[in-house]
Amino acid sequence: MKKWLALCASGLLLSFQVIADEYQSTIEQFESSPSTAEFFENAYGYAVFPTIGKGGIVLGGAYGTGQVYRGGQPTGSVNLVQVSVGFQLGGQAFSQIVFLQDKRAYDAFTAGSFEFGGQASAVALTFGASAQAGSTGTGAALGTQQSQANYVGGFAVFTLAKGGLMYEASIAGQKFNFQAARANKSAD
């Protein structure tokens, strides 16, 4: 019985390590982009989603789980849900990071339930190329030059394609549900 419990505990510890490595690996990928370096230096906090799956044929959806960080430390978990209707076809997997510019943006994002509205846009980072689309305009770059990204309403969103092909790319309508880590519920 002791061996079985030790084996279960080892397996549980290993699965926590794999999850932690997945988040750290995703953060390192975003940190390596010149487009996000300034955001890591100046953001009040950020939410990291190692894998978001998205697909659709006219009716589409996306789902992913992530962690919210403040001061480089996780403060809670968050899930992302998106439902969309319109011209779309295919499926894709991508990583996403949401930078929270200040305490106001952090508090809004971590209030429990948060949704990006129609003004939301994302910068797509892929092998030295980037593209941005939103109500404030569009931009693209290839090679070492990157499109200029700015905070909109206290938020800046970047995505990194992992695989798949989908004709449709938007973050408008993404809904986030935050759950504070037990140790941090009384901290704020």
pTM above 0.85, yes or no: no
- Mean pLDDT over residues 88-96, rounded? 87
Q: Of residues 132 and 49, which shows the higher confidence score?
A: 49
Model confidence at 18: pLDDT above 60: no
Beta partners for residue 178, in sequence order:
78
User: Which range among 21-25, 88-92, 111-115, 123-127 shows the weakest confidence by mean pLDDT?
Assistant: 123-127
Q: Of residues 55 and 138, which shows the higher confidence score?
A: 55
Could you say which DSSP state residue 170 is in? -
Residues 68-81 pLDDT 10s = 999 999 999 999 99
The confidence score (pLDDT) of residue 187 equals 47
Domain boundaries, given as residue ranges, for the chain = 2-183
User: Which range among 53-57, 95-99, 145-149, 168-172 shows the weakest confidence by mean pLDDT?
Assistant: 145-149
Q: Measured over all CA atoms, what is the biggest interatomic distance in the chain, rounded to whole angstroms?
A: 63
Dist CA 25 CA 114 (whole Å): 26
Residues 110-150 pLDDT 10s = 998 899 876 566 777 754 433 443 333 333 333 333 445 78
What amino acid is encoded at 136 in this protein? Answer: T
Of 37, 40, 39, 95, nearest to 62 by C-alpha is 95
The confidence score (pLDDT) of residue 7 equals 41
The confidence score (pLDDT) of residue 15 equals 39
Dist CA 162 CA 93 (whole Å): 5
- Mean pLDDT over residues 89-97, rounded? 89
Of 141, 147, 143, 142, nearest to 121 by C-alpha is 147
Q: Of residues 39 and 148, which shows the higher confidence score?
A: 39
The confidence score (pLDDT) of residue 168 equals 53
